[in-house]
Chains A and B, each alone.
Chain A
Amino acid sequence: MAAYILRRFVSTIAVMAMVGIFIFLLLRLAPGDPAAMIAGRNAAPQLIASIREQLGLNDPIPVQFMRWVRDILGGDFGTSIFAGRPVLELISQRLEPTLSLAILTMILSVTVGVSFGILAAWRTGGLVDRLLAAFSAVGYSVPVFVIGYFLIYFFAIRTHWLPVQGYVPFNQGLGPWFVHLILPTVALGLGYIAFVARVTRASMLEVLSEDYMRTAAAKGASSYAMLFQHALKNAGVPILTVIGISFAYLIGGVVLTETVFNLPGIGRLVVNAINNRDYPIIQSVLILTSGLYVLINLAVDLAYTLIDPRIRY
């Protein structure tokens, strides 16, 4: 196991290095000029040229790349071209809203989605199953911003129950933090609930049709024991995989939700950086996100051993 984890860590570094090279080249070879963005819309060309020189953007790409690699290896992820502040400081500032939203969304998706999926599988063709089919269709097909506007209209504008937008840090109180995340979590979570529920249902149906489940039923096992002691455990691997992938996807895919609900998260940070061509931020966020993806996959792989003793590394 330890050797396996070590190998995965080494491969994580290799993946991050490849992502780094790819992103660096992509950004430098793609059109766009951060100096023009800094100088502003109607700036004189001479000013833009001076800023390019100042930022070292006129240096050959290999020189810029080596400078960046040297800094990264020294633990320096660089300074935002625009904000003039260390990139890691900006990322850490934005991490909390994104992680808060992702964690709450996963809690909502897993609890509701798995429960919904189990019930639908247990009563296939019944009311719950049909409701799940309808809910899944809506959850998959309606974009998150439509759901977001709908929720804002009813729960913020019409009733004033919940705030329209914004984020309150956790250390300023659990209540305000939670209240500001309810609508974004629900808006983002609907699709994931549908996804987790469908996978749970399919996986549970497969297990419930196995011979040993019939044997358990014949031996008089209770519904609870059949569902939760026998079926769910055996259906767990695909569900866990989906949850892991979903969480990783959430971290990088919350930008629309962050935009609609004005959450100052990582998604908006990187979109803003892309618009401004703030290279250090884009490079750092993508490298760190790719590392996070690999680590989440590793965590999921290790979690398999907990629910399926046959799996060994």
Chain B
Amino acid sequence: MTELSKTSFIIQCIDKEISSNKVHELKEELDKDYKYVVGIAISNVNASENSILEQVKIKGMDVLPEKFEAAHIMSSGAVAPNKRFFSWFKPVPVSGDELIIRFYDPDWAISYNLQVQILLTNNLEEIINVLFA
């Protein structure tokens, strides 16, 4: 049986109700027990494929380029849950820092719940091998 104390990664989920076609800001303190952000994903159940991540910032630094198309980090149900993360960015060292995401859906028509999933780890080498396998 896996001991929780030895778990080397965690998926932190951040939810926000998207109630208009304006920019919505998601703010969340990252789990302080994990040292690196290595992946990001968005549930594509509700958001339109033209949605934009205006900013994704940790400690004031951009994790993804500004105005990044959300479609790049959205996956259908056909993709295995552990393969839904986008990891083509420099791993971000964190220590309970605040994550700020500014999200915009130009095709918004009805209120929905947006879920952003953040993959954190303590073991960089191990998880990178898994993500790109």
Are A and B interaction partners? no
Q: Which residues of B contact A (CB under 8 A)?
A: none
Q: Which residues of A contact B (CB under 8 A)?
A: none
